[in-house]
Amino acid sequence: MKLFERGKIGTLTVKNRIVMDAINIQLGSPSDEAALGQRAIDFYVARAKGGVGLIKTTFMRTNRKLELSIGGPVVNSTRSGTWLNEIAEAVHDYGAKICVQLTIGVGRIPVPNPNLPHGGLVAPSPLPSFRGPAGEVPRIGPGRYPAQGERHVITRELTIEEIEELVRDYEFSAKIIALAEMDAIEIHAHQGYLLDEFMTALWNKRTDKYGGDLEGRMRLPLELVAAVRRAAGPDYPILYKYPLTHYLEGGREIEEGLEIARMLEAAGVNALTINAGCYETYNLAQPPTTQPRGNAVHLAEMTKKVVNIPVICSGKLGYPELAEQALQDGKVDFIGLARYLLADPEWPNKVKEGRVEDIKPCVGCHEGCIGRVRKNHYCSCAVNPATGVERELAITPAEKKKSVLVIGGGPAGMEAARVSALRGHKVTIWDKGNALGGNLIPAAVPDFKDDYRLLLEYLRTQTKKLGITVELEKEATLELIQQANPDVVFVATGASHIIPEIEGTGKGMETGKVIAAVDVLLSKREVGEAVVVIGGGLIGCETALFLAKEGKKVTVLEILDSVASDMVWGNALDLVKLLDDNKVNILTNANIQRITETGVDFTNQHGEEKTLEADTVTIAVGMKVNNEGFVETLEDNLPEVHVIGDCVQPRRILNAIWEGYRTARVI
Instruction: Tell me how crowded residue 359 is: count the other CB atoms within 10 A of its CB.
Output: 20
Q: How far apart are CA 124 and CA 115, in angstroms?
A: 22
Q: Tell me, letter by letter, the H, E, C secondary structure of 39-97.
A: HHHHHHHHHHHCCCCEEECCCEECCCCCCCCCCCCECCCCCHHHHHHHHHHHHHCCCCE
Q: Are 33 and 71 in contact (CB under 8 A)?
A: yes
Q: What are phi and psi of 117, to 5 degrees?
A: -55, 140
Residue 465, C-beta contacts closer than 8 angstroms, at least 6 positions apart: 358
Task: Report CA 473 to chain centroid distance, whole Å.
Answer: 35
Q: Are 198 and 104 in contact (CB under 8 A)?
A: no
Report which secondary-structure segment, H or E, holds 598.
none
Residues across the chain: 667
- What's at 81, amino acid-wise? G
> Is 193 in the active site?
yes
Residue 314's nearest CA partner among 330, 328, 332 is 332
Going through 117-161 in order, the beta strands assigned E by DSSP cover: 122-123, 156-157
Q: Where are the beta strands (DSSP E) in 214-280?
A: 238-245, 271-276
Report yes or no: 340 and 47 within 8 Å, Cβ to Cβ.
no
Q: Which helix (H) or strand (E) holds 575?
A: helix 569-581
> 236 with 185: CB under 8 angstroms?
yes
CA distance 290 to 283: 9
Q: Would you tell me how many other CB atoms lie within 10 Å of the CB of residue 13?
A: 12
CA distances from 442 to 435, 445, 450, 518 (A): 12, 5, 11, 6
Q: Give yes or no for a contact between 198 and 204, defined as CB atoms under 8 angstroms apart.
A: yes
What are the E-state strand segments in 318-372? 334-337
Instruction: Specify burial of residue 152 (Cβ count, 10 A radius: 0-12, 13-18, 19+).
Output: middle
- Catalytic option among 145, 193, 236, 247: 193
- Alpha-carbon distance 325 to 192, whole Å? 30
Does the CA dihedral 490-492-493-498 come out positive or negative? positive
Cα distances (angstroms) measured from residue 462 to each of 37, 379, 421, 468: 33, 25, 10, 9
Which among 187, 303, 188 has a CA at the least distance from the CA of 244? 303
Residue 443 · residue 452 · CB < 8 Å: yes
Bridge partners of residue 430, in order along the sequence = 407, 471
Q: Could you tell me which residues are beta bridge partners of residue 154?
A: 128
Spell 270-291 as b/e; 16+ CB within 10 A means b: bbbbbbbbbbbbbbbbbbbbbb
β-bridge pairing 334-337 and 54-56: unpaired
**Which active-site residues does the annotation give?**
193
